[in-house]
Amino acid sequence: MIIHVVRSGEILAEIARRYGSNVSQISASNQLLDPNRLIIGQALVIPIAARQHIVRSGETLWQIAQRYGVSLDAIIRLNQLANPNMLKLGTVLVIPARVHTVQAGETLWQIAQRYGTTVQEIVKMNQIQNPNLIPVGSVLTIPFPKPVIDVNAYTINLSETGAREVREVGQYLTYVTPFAYIMKTDGSLEPINDRAIIKAAQDRHVVPMMSITNFSSTDPGTRLAHTILSNPELQERLLTNVINIMNEKEYRILNIDFENVRQTDREAYNQFLQRAVDRLHPLGYFLSTALAPKTSSEQQGILYEAHDYEAHGRIADFVVLMTYEWGYRLGPPQAISPLNQMRRVIEYAVTVIPRNKILMGFQLYARDWIIPHVQGQEAETFDMQEAIRRALKYGATIQYDERAQSPFFRYTDEQGRRHEVWFEDARSAQAKFDLVKEFGLHGVSYWVLGYPFPQNWLLLEDNFIIRKM
């Protein structure tokens, strides 16, 4: 699967011919609103068995061919390279998939082992009806090797709405986390209607993860966190209530999300996590935590100070880094999940948390700010498809911030107001997946379901094997 950025004057039929695809496949993969109207700067996923490689300093074509296990000639032909010995830094090469001709006596398992992939991946890519009947001489397309990761998604839509969202994307998820049970001062929890979500998760072989938190839309939760964390008896009562719900509703993992906690409660928070693990592990349950995006242990501010990365990494089974919300709805317009900022957080995190315990946060929504920004003015939040819809409606050109690795555009509405929209596209999603692979992280955690982003799920599956438990 590769990504094409639309240039001025291009039409979908020409793009399809260039890559050996067809209009209907590209349109369906990207859920295009109107295949006859493309936007300059729009990123399209092209559903072909290929990868893209950006030439780095000192690389030779032979090294690139060796890396992907394909022939030099195949890369030269596909990219129409006039001088293969003169590769320019930053050149984007299309790497063709490997192929294998089935020999007498070979099984799919043997072929998968040879190429470092799985039988399931070969069956899916080649649309094989009966894996036990592969005729000798059949030419199989071999998937590129992919790391195995865990994928979590939070959902704030409960009842049947949340269940429908889980059913739609459940094949791409390891866990789903209904958000959230809010704790009370007496150690009890406000109930939520999560049974339909749990049933949908189980039907899709997705593990339900219970989330508890101290904050709400009307209360930052600082005082509540202090009340709980300063009283061991309340903590035990809270954990007993948690375990009762996990037993009753068949949750397997607890996700603790304490936010806006005082710095003076930091050690008490660490001790509570240890107390939680001591209660959960003997019952076969696991613990995860949600962490604010820090770049150092000394980072100040009520969002950060009580989140002890080293302690969470040592105590919890895994953590979710909340690497989003730089483009805050009440702040000035900017990328919501800028890659340069995410990288800084991950670079710090891996120094104190095992990499195989880190899920990188990834937001699934776009934002539209009125500009110039006025303090306190709230941006509108919507899905990526709506972002494309607005760019089409107002004739905008999509631009791409290379530092943040995020797309954006500006437009003027019917009232003459200027707007700036930041969203995600195939390029920015791929950049985030590359970050996960670069650092060898445990996986990805999405905030939040309910915002359609079809390109994301296609690319997620193209880059990774999603673990099912």
The residues near 248 (Cβ < 8 Å, ≥ 6 apart) are none
In a 10 Å sphere around its CB, with 0-12 CB exposed, 13-18 middle and 19+ buried, how is residue 7 labelled?
exposed
Q: Which of 285, 211, 259, 270 is nearest to 235 (CA)?
A: 270
Q: Three-state DSSP class for 120? A: helix
**CA gap 453, 146 in Å, rounded:** 22
Whether residue 259 lies in the annotated active site: yes
**Could you tell me the two tokens for 35?**
């295949």
Beta strands in 372-435 (DSSP E): 380-382, 399-401, 406-412, 418-422
CA 456 from chain centre, in angstroms, equals: 8
Q: Are 302 and 260 in contact (CB under 8 A)?
A: yes
From 121, 259, 386, 420, the catalytic residue: 259
Which 3 state secondary structure label does DSSP give 216? coil
**H or E element in which residue 274 lies:** helix 266-280
Query: Omega of the bond prior to 180 within 30 degrees of 0, cis?
Result: yes
Q: At what angle do helices 72-79 and 61-68 cross, to 10 degrees?
A: 110
Cα 179 to Cα 216: distance, rounded to the nearest angstrom: 11
- The DSSP code for 316 is S
Q: How far is CA 280 from CA 161, 215, 469, in A?
A: 30, 23, 18
Contacts with 314 (C-beta within 8 Å, 6 or more apart), sequence order: none
Cα distance between residue 295 and residue 342, in whole Å: 9
Cβ neighbours for 63, distance < 8 A, ≥ 6 positions apart? none
**DSSP annotation string for 339-364:** HHHHHHHHHHHHHHS-GGGEEEEEE-
Q: Are strands 286-291 and 253-257 parallel, antiparallel or unpaired?
A: parallel
CB atoms within 10 A of CB 141: 14
Catalytic residues: 259
